Amino acid sequence: MFDSGQLNFAFPLFTTATHMLVQFSLASLVLYFIPSLRPGNTQHNSDLGRSRHEAEPERPIMTKMFYLTRIGPCGAATGLDIGLGNTSLKFITLTFYTMCKSSSLAFVLLFAFVFRLETPTWKLVAIIATMTAGVVMMVAGEVEFELGGFILVISAAFFSGFRWGLTQILLLRNPATSNPFSSIFFLAPVMFLTLIVIALPVEGFFELIEGLKALGNEWGAFRTPLILLFPGTIAFLMTASEFALLQRSSVVTLSIAGIFKEVVTISAAALVFDDKLTPINISGLVVTIGAIGAYNWIKLTKMRNEARLDVHNKSYQQAQSSSSSDAERGSDSDEEETGLLAHDDASGVEDNLLTADGDLIPKPRPSSSTEPHRTERSRED
């Protein structure tokens, strides 16, 4: 679309801003037709009485302060990540861009540690460093260094790590952004504003109008909107998939999945388009795949250990509950025996005979053999 030999619409920032509007519209439709995905008010139960619970007002789903302090920075960082990266392509080559943007893994790891989304370990740091080196080796070659473009792409990598850390926090810790579609619904307007503010001065307002006229004259009034809007649908599906993966795993896992995508792309380009790979490029490919395998092995080992710990805790809790129930049953049986003995003693006391001196004489049980003897004794007395 941006190639001069194809559509020749050299306005990537404006196009990306348009995609944000498409994502917002599609997210709104999903939330409208699937009410279960809509964020709802959380009920706060009070322990201070029913009357006070009834008097408590409902908390709003999204407050102005939360939108400005959480949604705003995340959306702005996303817009800056995309905007600065696309702008840098005007000054540097795609190879140099890919090589510099691979440093976003380091920033992702840094912000994952800062936001306490990942536990810092030397193994994880070593894997990320090895993977970054492998990506650099994959795209190694003669590149033209441009300081301005280098600063732009490194800034984009910084904001990439920052925005993915914030996105995971929003997905996991706030009910208003608890699913990918509600997150896109709240984030897309901020991303659009950030991109359009950058696009107008950088790409030029009048140049943009002329570009739209030229595109409309060449492709017609029907196909021109499709050319601009259809990629936004693909971006919406991709963003929703990324958010869903981020919600179920971690920001580091998502970034490593992105690196795997680059590995597949480079390998497919070498096979399909016969792109030439140097020995350094092939070595970088092997190093990156090995680092991805090491990370997956560590992740799988951690999941197995957590699963074993959960099973152990559940079995321990079941044993504790069974022992406590046995103790309760034992105490109940002891109480029943004590009650029976007390009942027997009480009934025995009632059956005893009381003499004039206050002595208790057990009442004789009726028996055929002992009854005459007792009668004779009473006569003698």
Contacts of residues 22-25 at CB distance under 8 Å and 24 or more positions apart, as own/partner, are: 22/229, 22/232, 22/233, 22/235, 22/236, 23/184, 23/188, 23/232, 23/235, 23/236, 23/239, 24/184, 24/185, 24/188, 24/189, 24/192
Residues 6+ apart with CB under 8 A from 38: 31, 182
Residues 6+ apart with CB under 8 A from 81: 156, 159, 160, 163
Positive or negative: CA dihedral 266, 269, 270, 272? positive
Residue 207: predicted pLDDT:
84
CB-based contact 252:108 (threshold 8 Å)? yes
DSSP 251-300: HHHHHHHHHHHHHHHHHHHHHHS-----HHHHHHHHHHHHHHHHHHHHHH
Residue 70 CB burial class (10 angstroms; 0-12, 13-18, ≥19): buried
d(CA 381, CA 369): 20
Task: Provide the residue-wise pLDDT of the chain in tens; the chain has 381 residues.
Answer: 655 556 667 787 888 888 899 999 999 999 899 888 877 654 444 444 444 444 445 666 677 887 888 888 888 888 888 878 877 877 776 667 776 777 677 787 788 888 887 777 888 888 878 877 877 776 676 555 677 878 888 888 889 888 878 877 776 667 777 788 888 898 889 989 988 988 888 888 888 888 888 877 777 777 778 888 888 888 888 888 877 776 676 666 666 666 676 667 666 666 765 666 678 877 877 887 788 777 777 777 777 787 788 787 777 777 777 776 666 665 555 555 555 445 455 455 445 554 544 444 555 555 544 444 444 444 444
Residue 187 CB burial class (10 angstroms; 0-12, 13-18, ≥19): buried
248-281 burial code (b ≥16 CB/10 A, e <16): eebbbbbbbebbeebbeebbeeeeeeeeeeeeeb
Closest Cα partner for 239 from 2, 14, 18, 19?
A: 19
Closest Cα partner for 153 from 78, 203, 84?
A: 84
Residue 349: predicted pLDDT:
47
Tally Cβ neighbours within 10 Å of residue 121: 12
198-227 burial code (b ≥16 CB/10 A, e <16): bbeeebeeeebeebeeebeeeeeeeebeeb
Q: Where in the chain does DSSP place strands (E)?
A: 353-354, 360-361
Residue 21: predicted pLDDT:
92
Residues 6+ apart with CB under 8 A from 174: 66, 70
Positive or negative: CA dihedral 198, 204, 210, 211? negative
Residue 60: predicted pLDDT:
64
